[in-house]
Amino acid sequence: MGYEEAFPPELREYYAKLFGREAEEIMASLRTPVEKYYIRVNTLKTSRSKLMDILRKEGLKPKRSPYLKEGIYFEREGPNFDDDYEPGLPVVRANKFASESVYQGAMLYAPGVLQADKRIKPGDKVEIKDPRGLLVGIGIARMSAKEMILSTRGLAVEVTLPKFRLPSLSELESFKKGLFYAQSLPSMVASRVLEPSEEDLIVDMAAAPGGKTSHIAQLMGNRGEIIAMDKSRNRLRKMEEELERLGVKNVKLIRMDSRKLPELGIEADKILLDAPCTALGIRPKLWESRTPKDIEATARYQRHFINAAIKSLRKGGVLVYSTCTLSYEENEANVRYILEKGLKLEEQSVFIGSHGIGVEDVQRFYPNRHLTQGFFIARFRKVQA
Ligand code: SAM
């Protein structure tokens, strides 16, 4: 399957209108994992050079980000075979989630298996395909066909040759000790652009699982106050674990619908609205299912958060609005909406992306140009009460 079939025709048309000839390159990049896989040094516990030494001892090849002093990245390995490669081995078909993981170097566990060639027995060499037939990796079966379909746990296939390979980090001692957080480069830029200081009362309106909140906390040296909210109980549970692992102490976590933020009567100095979005910029995508209709509906949903943010910001306060999506409506169109409400766009202290579409002072990250996730950041000041 070529990347053309991985995107609904309406979305391909939408991209062609918005990005012109670059649309093809953008879609091709979205199909592959990021070329540079970033982690953020947890400066509450260690320094970059110390962590680089530890990671080297753990067998990895960390590199320094030239942009952010808390950034470290690892080079992606692959593609390890061409798109038209047909190894002709017995096939194990995995669900979309498991396929996306194998595609980036993970093992295949039994819950992710949808189908398996009946002949497969432990020790056999097999190929792993996604539900639409894309080859995502090659490996050695560790269960029989029947076992991998029926088991609810356990290693089904030891993946020896994934299409791409990103480092596997969560088993490392340095991870368990909370010395870093795996986070994309643009996400780190978003918290930087907020320029948090320890005097600030900060609200993070869509906080879980806590990537940006924990970054803001470290930029504040664990002082000052962050009120972080999210509506998802599961994601908040994960966030609590993460804050604990990272040693973050200046965050008050609230489970609520943040469209109701004004009911708390807060006058925040700074608000981060890392809005729920169509996530069109997230890589890799074996295929995309969102269409322009989803874009419209999501952009409308985001305006409720925007209205709530503006009400809860003190005069002179700062709003950073970010998304991990590529659409115009969720990004520049919502920026225009915020400008109509009287806020002013401000320059961003870290600017390594491109300017916006028809709006200069915002930052867009393109997967093909910046070799990152697709991402968007705007910074505003509320100049009137
Ligand atoms: N900022 C997070 C980070 O850096 O780790 C990622 C946030 S994610 C882009 C958007 C979040 O918005 C999700 O965790 C989702 O549960 C939350 N969300 C969606 N609708 C919400 C609502 N009405 N109120 C509060 N949170 C909401």
What is the C-alpha to C-alpha distance for residues 172 and 132, in angstroms, rounded to an integer? Answer: 33
3-state secondary structure of 14: helix
Q: Which of 184, 187, 216, 232 to mutate to test the pocket of ligand 1 (most atoms within 8 A of CB)?
A: 232
Q: Whose CA is nearest to atom 1 of ligand 1?
A: 207
Instruction: Please pick, among 141, 324, 333, 335, the residue that the annotation labels catalytic.
Output: 324
Residue 190 Cα: closest atom of ligand 1: 4
Residue among 96, 80, 78, 158 nearest 133 (CA): 96
Q: Which residue has its alpha carbon closest to ligand 1 atom 26? A: 230
The confidence score (pLDDT) of residue 5 equals: 84
Non-local (6+) Cβ contacts of 268 within 8 A are 201, 202, 203, 227, 312, 313, 314, 317
Distance from Cα 283 to the centre of ligand 1, integer Å? 18
pLDDT, mean of each 10-residue run, the chain (385 residues): 81 98 97 97 98 98 98 97 95 97 97 98 98 97 97 98 96 98 98 97 98 98 96 98 98 98 98 98 95 98 98 98 98 98 98 98 98 98 93
Backbone angles phi, psi at 374, to 5 degrees: -70, 135
Which pLDDT value is given to residue 97?
95
- Measured CA to CA, the distance from residue 383 to residue 343 in angstroms comes to 6
By alpha-carbon position, which residue is closest to atom 2 of ligand 1? 207
Q: Report the C-alpha gap between 207 and 375 in whole angstroms.
A: 16
Q: How far apart are CA 230 and CA 228, in angstroms?
A: 7
* Ligand 1 centroid, distance to 252 Cα (angstroms): 16
350 CA distance to ligand 1 middle (Å): 23
- Supply the pTM of this predicted model: 0.97
Checking phi first, is residue 78 left (phi over 0); if not, alpha (psi -120 to 50) or beta? left
Sort 66 into a burial class: Cβ within 10 Å, 0-12 / 13-18 / 19+.
exposed
Q: How is residue 122 written in tokens?
A: 């432990």
CA 91 to ligand 1 center in whole angstroms = 37
For the chain, counts of helices (H) and of strands (E): 12, 18
Q: What does the domain layout of the chain look like in residue ranges?
A: 91-162, 185-382
Q: Which residues line ligand 1 (CB under 6 A)?
A: 187, 206-212, 229-232, 235, 257-259, 274, 276
- The pLDDT value recorded for residue 1 is 54
pLDDT at 2: 63
Res 174: pLDDT: 98
Q: Are 161 and 182 in contact (CB under 8 A)?
A: no
The CATH number assigned to the domain with range 185-382 reads 3.40.50.150
CA dihedral 88, 167, 36, 183 (to 10 degrees): 130
> Is there a catalytic annotation at residue 324?
yes
Instruction: List the residue whose alpha carbon is closest to atom 9 of ligand 1.
Output: 276
* 8 Å CB contact between 56 and 74: no
| Strand spans (E) along 95-149 | 108-109, 113-116, 125-129, 135-141
Distance 55 CA to ligand 1 centre (A): 31
Give the closest residue (by CA) to ligand 1 atom 22.
Answer: 257
| Structure confidence at residue 3 (pLDDT) | 64
- CATH number belonging to the domain at 91-162, selected among 2.60.40.420, 2.30.130.10, 3.40.50.300, 3.40.640.10: 2.30.130.10
